[in-house]
Amino acid sequence: MAAPLLMPRTAGKLIVGIGEFAVTDQPGGSIVTHALGSCIAACIWDPTVRVAGLLHFLLADSKINPERARQQVGTFADTGIPALFQEAYKLGLDKKRAEVRLVGGAEIATAASPSNLQVGKRNILAARNLLWKNGVMIRAEATGGNVPRTVRISADDGRVEVSTGRDAHLLV
């Protein structure tokens, strides 16, 4: 299993790519991922211990490529979300206090990836189902649509900022 990205012990911004995740409890830090299309960013936050985490997963189900799932667990919802929580537990996150926000799952059609595959919708449903089955409620979502998004979660207060081009808003 590939190791997660861990926030350096100094404040700063950590950029998470496709199939990666990061957790931090460091004041002043943030975790960012760019250009979410059909991918999902699962953002977690525990306000008591101030642990933040972000996973940028590509696809819903690891059964389509078990070898990749072993090498890069964050690529899939069914392997990435549990891995994200496991790393956050190491920093004191409690599932009962966890605030979860989902971002992404857009249907961005191209000639190489027609929109009738509904990858974004499948990703949204996979994340919702996995979280629900594990007793984790979703606090907010900015999902669907047809525009890419950039997401940032603050390690100080758990605020999640979502931007689409020139527009930005907080996901409460």
Per residue in 96-140, pLDDT (tens digit) is: 999 999 999 999 866 555 556 799 999 999 999 999 999 999 999
Q: What mean pLDDT comes out for the span 19-38?
A: 94
Query: What is the pLDDT, as a whole number, of residue 54?
Result: 98
For helices 119-133 and 77-90, what crossing angle results, to 10°? 50
Helix or strand or coil: residue 39? Answer: coil
pTM of the model: 0.89
> What pLDDT digit, counting tens, does each position of 61-90 carry?
999 999 999 999 999 999 999 999 999 999
- Write phi, then psi, for 121 (nearest 5 degrees): -65, -40
Measured CA to CA, the distance from residue 134 to residue 152 in angstroms comes to: 25
- Check: CB of residue 103 under 8 Å from CB of residue 161: no
Q: In sequence order, which ranges of 59-142 are alpha helices (DSSP H)?
A: 66-71, 77-90, 119-133
